[in-house]
Amino acid sequence: MPLIPVVLWTDALVFVLLALGGAFALYASRHEHLRDPWRRVVRSRVGVATLVVLMAYALVGFLDTVHLRLKQGPQPGVEETRYAPEVLSLLDLALGGLRERQEKTYSAPFATHLYVKEAIDQPDGRVVRDYPRLLHAGAHLQDPQRQRGLDIAWRTLVGLVEGLIAWILLCFGIFWLLARRWGVALSEVRRRVLAGETHVPWRTALGALGVVILLGFVAGELAREYHILGTDKVGEDVFYQTLKSIRTGLLIGTLTTLVMLPAAILLGIAAGYFRGWVDDLIQYLYTTLNSIPGVLLIAAVILMLQVYMSNHADAFESLVERADLRLLFLCLILGVTSWTGLCRLLRGEALKLREIDYVQAAQSLGVGHFTVIARHILPNVMHIVLITLVLDFSGLVLAEAVLSYVNIGVDPTMNSWGNMINSARLELARDPVVWWSLAAAFLFMFTLVLAANLFADVVRDAFDPRLRQAGA
């Protein structure tokens, strides 16, 4: 085989999360009380626009989640098949040029020379201090000062044309599917979409998709010959680092919810439904946990994990596995410290629901407690669970950046926006200032958090029963 798949701990949890998401989507499609709110979400212009942006981030994160090892070339005297020790992802293979093109040190976005002067030997034996040419960026230009601007403009135009063609083909495919579903001609579908006469705002969705595709093709075309977001201290491409950091941000936001969700739902509903000593015990548990400073608890766990990994270095085949284990434990400890808020909300809602007439009637008829919880309590608190999850996602993404900034977040060898911001502290003290690493991390993180917050507002409005009744 030319490659072998590698499944890290976080990869396995992502696959489990995707399976649970698919199962929930199938369940929701068969129940009107869940299908109707999601129908409201996809009929919102803000909802579909932000959903397109989130799906673009999710696609990059998924490509970076599928890991593998490549087969090594034949070696003299060795007959068995050997695979490279380096663990790569599909995103690494797709961005192989950005990953392998490493410069000497800092270079500004779209630069063709280093950002700092160095001693350069001249053909006549003299030594002058000047800005050396980069090894890869703009290497195809004979006269960078005169040709760079025109070359960037031409590549931008080529990227726009390629992106426009891809977008048109994708729109044609969507129109064809809609035409088959609605039983009308393609021209009629195009007219309805452009006029905004569809229940789902396809015009807004296709517009947002067009912007994402155009930006992607332009960035891809320019990144072939330039470092569009510059390079860092060791010469690595900053654009590549920001793309690799997407997976880390998404994992922090999603896997943490996978950890905190079972405990929050089970304990919250149990405390509100059973009351008595069960309620007192659960309240004591999350009150005690809330009294412990979260940052200190996270720091203690991460430091203990570092000691364990240092004493058992032979248990890890690569640095990727070490970094992945630290990321997993960070998700676990964030989940342990963040389930209490949702647990409180569910406890209060369960206290109210257990006094409603149909719950009292079910108990009077001898229906078991767990049946009552599964059929009457849990379905009526799912809107709180969904609203809390989408609202907490952006906070968890920002938490990773803050924790990595104080060196108790993800492993320093793992790409993350927090590590980029942490390394930018010293870069901002330089003269001249190296600003692009911080700006790139801020731009990508701001876009993700803004889209998540706007999407969370739409989900909240769709699932909150009081808002639905007020709108009706």
Q: How far apart are CA 388 and CA 461, in angstroms?
A: 12
Burial class (CB in 10 A: 0-12, 13-18, 19+), 442: middle
Q: How far apart are CA 80 and CA 2, in angstroms?
A: 13
Task: Classify residue 315: in a domain, yes or no.
Answer: yes
| Reported pTM | 0.87
Phi, then psi, of 153 in degrees rounded to 5 = -65, -40
Task: Classify residue 453: in a domain, yes or no.
Answer: yes
Tens-digit pLDDT profile for residues 357-406: 888 888 888 888 888 888 888 878 877 887 788 778 877 887 877 787 77
Written as one letter, the residue type at 30 is: R
Average pLDDT of 352-357? 86
Task: Classify residue 55: in a domain, yes or no.
Answer: no
Tens-digit pLDDT profile for residues 234-276: 888 999 999 999 998 888 888 888 788 888 899 999 998 888 8
Task: Classify residue 410: in a domain, yes or no.
Answer: yes
Q: List CB contacts of 282: < 8 A, sequence separation 6 or more.
A: 267, 268, 270, 271, 343, 347
Task: Classify residue 374: in a domain, yes or no.
Answer: yes
Task: Classify residue 437: in a domain, yes or no.
Answer: yes
Q: How far apart are CA 426 and CA 234, in angstroms?
A: 14
Provide the total of helices (H) and of strands (E) in the chain, helices listed first: 18, 5
Contact criterion met (CB below 8 Å) for 114 and 131: yes
Tens-digit pLDDT profile for residues 132-185: 888 888 888 888 888 888 999 999 999 999 999 999 999 999 999 999 988 888
Tens-digit pLDDT profile for residues 303-353: 888 788 778 777 777 778 888 888 888 888 888 888 888 888 899 989 888
CATH number, domain at 259? Answer: 1.10.3720.10
Task: Classify residue 284: in a domain, yes or no.
Answer: yes
Task: Classify residue 454: in a domain, yes or no.
Answer: yes
> Around 472, how many Cα atoms within 13 Å sit in the side-chain half-sphere?
8
Dmax (CA) for the chain in angstroms is 101
Q: Which domain holds residue 268?
A: 238-471
β-pair type (118-121, 127-130): antiparallel
Distance of CA 146 to the CA centre of its chain: 40
Tens-digit pLDDT profile for residues 415-466: 888 888 888 877 877 777 888 888 998 899 889 988 988 888 888 888 776 6
How many structural domains is the chain composed of? 1
